[in-house]
Chains A and B, each alone.
Chain A
């Protein structure tokens, strides 16, 4: 689908090559002609114009100025651009440097050095208008209803600066030059309002039919990548006439309010588009006003739902009025809120898909002048795509929810279905405060189904960020030395530096740094037993790299982390990575496609991505395609992906990976050795950091113990923490206590002593006899397994010796199952009754030792 679509757009040079470089064998041109075969439209973009460039996030194309066009030696059409940044492209922590609100449509003159300014021509979508403004200058009204960007400040990666006069004038000049082409703002406002009535309606119908066709076409392609969709819709929008579809639209329009609304402005835009190409549609703006007042007098109070057969004229009016309503900036904002409500509407997937498409196509109409609409609708589209993903998974939303959410929804429906053209035109003409005007139209219709005057339903977003409630009382500060020590010794406490892992830190740092500087990709495999600081070290590396990137010592990068244990299924890794990278929420297979595309195509302005894959072994699948893909991406030429894979076993690549996966993982390995006792000692001391809570010997004892057992730093810290508690309990006398050897020993005993001996000593008389009987039976038979019946005979005999009442078989079975539940015994399933086989779960010597001591 995608490739087929791609072939439909032809990029060709405009005019003759202006200059050429013999040495490099490049030819320079001053313009490019984009011909879309499907819609038979031609767009010409010249040097100096502003363009939209395909980005990784389909909803937010990049803005750039075309500086140079050339064909290189390999016959590749290339372009050199000057980037502009959206506010979303600026790192979160730097945004506050701006110290003001960012208006939608505002971009920043990009002076960040790291970006590749050389792009392939095929990524150009269309031209836009970017207007430079002085810093103090307010947003001019005339831009509000246009699809344009404006630039006030420049961004160089560290701070915002006002545009230098030089660039300002340059941009201004570029704009002037662009206005020669008929998409300049002034010329087109008049032109769009001026078409003779008949012509206009015709166009409306035509464009409407286009839309319908688009919807029909794209219903089945809804699952395609959004990039494809974008292109697709863009192409489709350029007009194919299918007269039969007209009726359908009329059927649709009354019920799906947000769509029609958006359609309305869509239509206007398409109109504009047509006006531009078809010259004789010129007329004066006043004419339209006249037209509207004419309608004012007419009494068409029939709800639109009924007028299937009504004249095109009427529908056209409706749309026009709609767009009129949309035109002021605030109103556009207003109407775009509705699809947000729409999010709650879960009735059917196709509906939302329709909407998404219409919205998307709105975003991408070739003449994108309505900046604010574009902005907001891009947001909507994103949300709806999220919703769609959600929808696929739970269609089973309870009725309660839908009824709750539909209140605001219905009201919008009413708004559109029942309002008469008269009212609407009135409201749009009067230009009263936008909100009220829209609301008034809600209440006017005679046939309103809802009498309630606008219930102020709280618009809680459905996918709100989850949060645990806040605590009511502030957490207490540590009062004593021991409490302070305990706080510092908690595993979660982040130390200022990681002692004893300097070498590993340096190795990983060097690896990532070199890849970052080179702008290439690579993998590193890190192994080590649990609790040896693998993840902590990697995080530390990332933190200091980010620090370096902020200080401009390194090109900036983005870091994504996934954890195999935190995924429900290996394939969910794709979903998580994509969501963390672009914020899109899609299904696993789709995410895999998008990611593969993202990493295999040369994206302009793409930063290097550092991907941390924790608990790698959990991503194992039978075909190993997840691992394969993960390690395949960095080998792609343009991926700029660095993977740090973390797992426990050193020989994981050899043991569980197929050859092709292991080979892609490469040989950059690192293994974290378990901590030695000296290192553990150092870790504790550095954490305590001059707090005098532990005896030196105590620290040494605990580190030696843990080093001998596992070398797990977590264990070490846990023991210390427990020791402080024991110490606190022991010294209740308010005297400054210090953790000594005895406390440590007690803590270690508590944590590591085998529970069995204690458990056996605490068992009851008959349970003890039973264990003895088992031992006796084992000795008699010479086999370490016996049936209950055999043990029973021994038990009865032992009871006679002890002089106690012997139990019945039922009681014995009870004892047996109780010991089995504690796993002192291993027992078979109990349906065999007295033939049930019994084994000891501990060594006979242990049992003997435990029982004899009494």
Chain B
């Protein structure tokens, strides 16, 4: 085997690797659903039937899709819409209006958006004219003109539905639901929300007009299916150019899914969150380790990624602190222990630190007070320490009441991995009484 051949081989490999990276990254980041969502067959059917009836029979409806964040509400809806649009009769018969509670923060903005998306007559270009009152009257007039059999059905999709509830008088919701309950243009209002108590937020008149159809998404798949999703997410598609490489890659993925460490990693993630997005994030970290010299994902990659993924953010900050700052944090920890979580001020921390310096520490330099103050303020800026109230001009900084935003466990964990930590500091951290 000559060197050149090896090089060629690696070149071809490199091509493959970059292809793999591209495909997988696209899949993870754009997060378009690769397969059918798991465990939502019933909800899927319900929603599909509902929308089909709207478009085919012109029946007005309203429904809410409720589920925790990342439970696939939007994915379900998109799936259903995609499926619906494959029917010709539906495709040509449906007007969609997409609203998002985060974008349309007032009814005025929402009305303009609706008028724009429906392309009604008072739209010029992309702008909508007229005052709020006119727009409302206009839209209601437009909707009133239609009737069940002749008008094109309109599908209103309200993302972040719970935010629309906070609009003044819930005017928009009232009107949409009212239209859906009267013999006007057929409309279907679909709300997407993660709040379980959404019905309690609706005003009584609005609630009465809402049909009370709720589609709950529970993320009710088990670990076996989770492994399946894992495989599906990582596998290369059949149309990958280099077939042999794809074969190899997919076999490797199959092996991985049976590997004990990988299963452990996935299990712990599964216990923590079922969201598809977090799985994708984990895989993203693992996939970015793939290079020409390391063409296939190993179990260790996933383990490493999971470690990275589960890192505690505040403890991470502690790693980068100076010894003096660590000492201050330890002093605060002791104060917390002694006073049972009561707030403290800089002077108390400084006194505690002084005690340590005077009695125990041999390797620590006795810093002057302003220097310690500076270190303390750095901690405040990192938000490891938080003042109870806003610092006012009158109050002296030394006596401002503070709270530590770290738990004892976090501090001890961080100290374990802190590089070159002086031993007496470590001892001091372990016990506040040992030096007495």
The interface of chain A, by Cβ under 8 A from chain B, is 390, 393-394, 397-398, 400-401, 464-476, 478, 483, 486-487, 490-494, 529-531, 565-569, 572, 575-576, 615, 618, 648, 712, 714-715, 718-719, 721-722, 725, 729, 750-752, 755-756, 758-759, 762-766, 789, 792, 796, 804-805, 807-811, 814-815, 818, 821-824, 832-835, 841
Contact = CB atoms under 8 A, between A and B. Distances in A.
A492 B219 CA distance: 35
With most chain B CB atoms within 10 A of its CB, the pick from A401, A714, A751 is A714
Given A567-B133, A572-B133, A478 B151 contact: no
B133 A468 contact: no
Given A750-B213, A764-B270, A822-B195, 16 more contacts: A466-B142, A467-B121, A468-B143, A471-B153, A475-B149, A491-B181, A565-B174, A576-B137, A729-B49, A751-B214, A758-B218, A759-B218, A811-B312, A818-B69, A821-B68, A832-B386
Given A758-B218, A833-B405, A811 B272 contact: yes
Interface of B: 45, 49, 56-60, 66, 68-69, 89, 92-93, 95, 107-108, 118, 120-122, 124-125, 127, 129-134, 136-143, 145-146, 148-154, 169, 171, 174-175, 178, 181-185, 194-197, 204-205, 207-209, 211-214, 216, 218-220, 268, 270-274, 310-315, 341, 383, 386, 403, 405-407, 409-410
B69 to A, nearest CB: 6
Contact of B59 (A490, A755, A821): A490
Nearest to B119: A469
B96 to A, nearest CB: 13
Contact of B125 (A394, A398, A615): A398
Contacts of A490: 59-60
A814 B136 CA distance: 40
A487 to B, nearest CB: 7
5 contacts: A530-B205, A729-B49, A750-B214, A821-B195, A835-B403
A465 B141 contact: yes
A398 B89 CA distance: 38
A792 B195 CA distance: 24
With most chain B CB atoms within 10 A of its CB, the pick from A397, A467, A483, A615 is A467
A468 B174 contact: no
Contacts of A465: 141, 145
A249 B208 CA distance: 63
A475 B220 contact: no
B136 to A, nearest CB: 6
Contact of B136 (A470, A478, A568): A568
A834 B69 CA distance: 22
Nearest to B136: A568
A719 B213 CA distance: 9
A751 B134 CA distance: 36
A592 to B, nearest CB: 14
A755 B216 contact: yes
A398 B127 contact: yes
B182 A491 contact: yes
Contacts of A722: 211, 213
A762 B181 contact: no
A400 B213 contact: no
Given A566-B136, A796-B409, A714 B273 contact: no
A511 to B, nearest CB: 24
Contacts of A566: 136-137, 140, 171, 174-175
Contacts of A529: 204
A195 B66 CA distance: 84
Nearest to A808: B312
A764 B315 contact: no
B39 to A, nearest CB: 10
Contact of A492 (B108, B183, B220, B312): B183
Given A714-B181, A729-B45, A530 B133 contact: no
B194 A821 contact: yes
B169 A565 contact: yes
A476 B57 contact: yes
A576 B310 CA distance: 60
Contacts of B152: 468-472
Contacts, number: 225
A241 to B, nearest CB: 43
A823 B143 contact: no
A762 B140 contact: no
A45 B258 CA distance: 107
Given A468-B154, A468-B185, A475 B56 contact: yes
Given A572-B133, A808-B315, A823-B196, A476 B272 contact: no
Nearest to B314: A809
A470 B149 CA distance: 9
Contacts of A815: 272-273
Given A471-B152, A478-B57, A492-B182, A393 B271 contact: no
Nearest to A805: B268
With most chain B CB atoms within 10 A of its CB, the pick from A472, A475, A575, A809 is A475
B76 to A, nearest CB: 15
Contacts of B312: 808-811
A814 B129 CA distance: 43
Contacts of A531: 208
Given A400-B124, A766-B272, A811 B196 contact: no
A487 B59 contact: yes
B204 A821 contact: no
A808 B272 CA distance: 11
Given A464-B121, A468-B154, A469-B95, A565 B133 contact: no
B171 A568 contact: yes
A547 to B, nearest CB: 19
Contact of B150 (A470, A575, A725, A755): A470
A796 to B, nearest CB: 7
B132 A568 contact: yes
Nearest to A817: B69
B130 A725 contact: no
A826 to B, nearest CB: 10
Contacts of B132: 568
Closest 6 CB pairs of A and B: A530-B208, A466-B142, A762-B218, A808-B312, A765-B271, A475-B58
A395 to B, nearest CB: 10
Contact of A715 (B146, B208, B315, B410): B208
Nearest to B129: A394
Contacts of B66: 755
Contacts of A719: 212
With most chain B CB atoms within 10 A of its CB, the pick from A390, A565, A789 is A565
Nearest to A579: B137
A712 B302 CA distance: 56
Contacts of A648: 204-205
B407 A809 contact: yes
B145 A467 contact: yes
A648 B207 CA distance: 13
A469 B132 CA distance: 23
B409 to A, nearest CB: 7
Contacts of B49: 725, 729
Contacts of A393: 130-131, 134
Contacts of B194: 821-822
Given A486-B59, A755-B66, A390 B93 contact: no
Given A565-B205, A810-B312, A475 B182 contact: no
Nearest to A475: B58
Contacts of A789: 341, 407
Nearest to B204: A530
B68 A818 contact: yes
Contact of A398 (B124, B315, B410): B124
B271 A764 contact: yes
A466 B138 contact: yes
A530 B195 CA distance: 24
A562 B50 CA distance: 32
With most chain B CB atoms within 10 A of its CB, the pick from A468, A758, A763, A835 is A468
A464 B123 CA distance: 12
A764 B208 contact: no
A401 B220 CA distance: 54
